[in-house]
Amino acid sequence: MAVSKVFLFVTAMAIIFELATARNITVGSPGGSWDLQTNLGAWAQGQTFDQGDDLVFSYDPSQHDVLEVNKANYDSCTTSNPIATHTSGDDVIPLSTTGMRYFICGKPGHCGRGMKVAINTVASSGPSPPGTPVRQEPVTCTQRWPPELDWGWPSFWPFKLI
């Protein structure tokens, strides 16, 4: 029972810590947004996107949308066969994996006028997510404590340090 309470506590703390370290990054902010006026390429170059962050696209849904596309469609501004389509005007996209992701506006002519952004998500600099194994080196004790009591280890103890 005590072990399950400790496990629950540790799991809850890991989730809270993960939530506390993740950021909501609004595309184009603070000086712009998902629009035709913001230099989205320059904006993205000045950002660091960590795994676990959320990318927020805020825009007028009657004017714009957000399509996640592959690199070829990003480069050519092709709107067919998007990976995902977002149209709410307040889209939150979790950056749950590392690597490049590509977003364009699907409205005619917008991508060609610069309304596109490439996001490189890097591994989080924080602790590993819950459930990720952590490599630990074995610990070896080579000296008795205190050193002046070198009378040996009692044979009735169920374990030895040496």
Please give the CATH number for the structural domain made up of 24-122. Answer: 2.60.40.420
- The pLDDT tens digits for 32-58 are 899 999 999 999 998 999 999 999 999
pTM of the predicted structure, to 2 decimals: 0.66
- Secondary structure of the chain in HEC code, one letter for each residue: CHHHHHHHHHHHHHHHHHHHHCCEEECCCCCCCCCCCCCHHHHHHCCCEECCCEEEEECCCCCCCEEEECHHHHHHCCCCCCCEEECCCEEEEECCCCEEEEEECCCCCCHHHCCEEEEEEECCCCCCCCCCCCCCCCCCCCCCCCCCCCCCCCCCCCCCCC
Domain locations in the chain as residue ranges: 24-122
Band of pLDDT at residue 98, cut at 50, 70 and 90? very high
